[in-house]
């Protein structure tokens, strides 16, 4: 049984290496496959990464927050999900925390994150 788990984990590690490296504070554009009836399309979700969870395991997830028409939307994506087409890193943010939940209480210019140089 453990041999089967090892084979599956190695397969996931290979697919993980194809994804870009990103951290909390980075602005990412996630291309997600959306299925509507028999049709399938790609929808882009661009926002700031608030957290990475369960790093290094097969159940790794990341939370992305975007603001659209002054309404904040947060989505949690499994990193190795087959519904994720690709992830693009738009810009890297300079933050000193692993969890950026303090951004939830900020609006406008106060919610900005400096860019890493």
CB atoms within 10 A of CB 23: 15
Structurally, how many domains does the chain consist of?
1
For the entire predicted model, the pTM comes to 0.85
- State the Cα–Cα distance between residues 19 and 15, nearest whole angstrom: 7
Residue 37 sits in a domain whose CATH number is: 2.30.30.790
Domain membership of residue 57 (yes or no) is: yes
Domain membership of residue 110 (yes or no) is: no
Give the pLDDT confidence of 45-66 residue by residue, as tens digits: 999 999 999 887 778 899 999 9
Containing structural domain, residue 71: 2-105
Give the pLDDT confidence of 80-100 residue by residue, as tens digits: 888 999 999 999 999 999 999
Domain membership of residue 14 (yes or no) is: yes
What is the average per-residue pLDDT within 106-112?
92
- State the Cα–Cα distance between residues 27 and 90, nearest whole angstrom: 5
Domain membership of residue 16 (yes or no) is: yes
Domain membership of residue 112 (yes or no) is: no
Domain membership of residue 115 (yes or no) is: no
Q: The tokens of 105 are what?
A: 């209480």
Domain membership of residue 19 (yes or no) is: yes
């Amino acid at each position: 049984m453990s041999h089967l788990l090892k084979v599956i984990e190695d397969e996931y590690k290979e697919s993980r290496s194809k994804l870009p490296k990103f951290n909390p504070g980075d602005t990412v554009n996630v291309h997600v496959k959306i299925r509507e009836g028999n049709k399938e399309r790609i929808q882009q979700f661009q926002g700031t990464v608030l957290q990475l969870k369960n790093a290094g395991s097969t159940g790794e997830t990341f939370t992305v927050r975007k603001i659209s028409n002054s309404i904040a939307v947060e989505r949690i994506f499994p990193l190795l999900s087959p519904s994720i087409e690709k992830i693009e890193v738009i810009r890297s943010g300079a933050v000193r925390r692993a969890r950026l939940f303090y951004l939830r209480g900020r609006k406008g210019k106060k919610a900005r994150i400096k860019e890493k140089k």
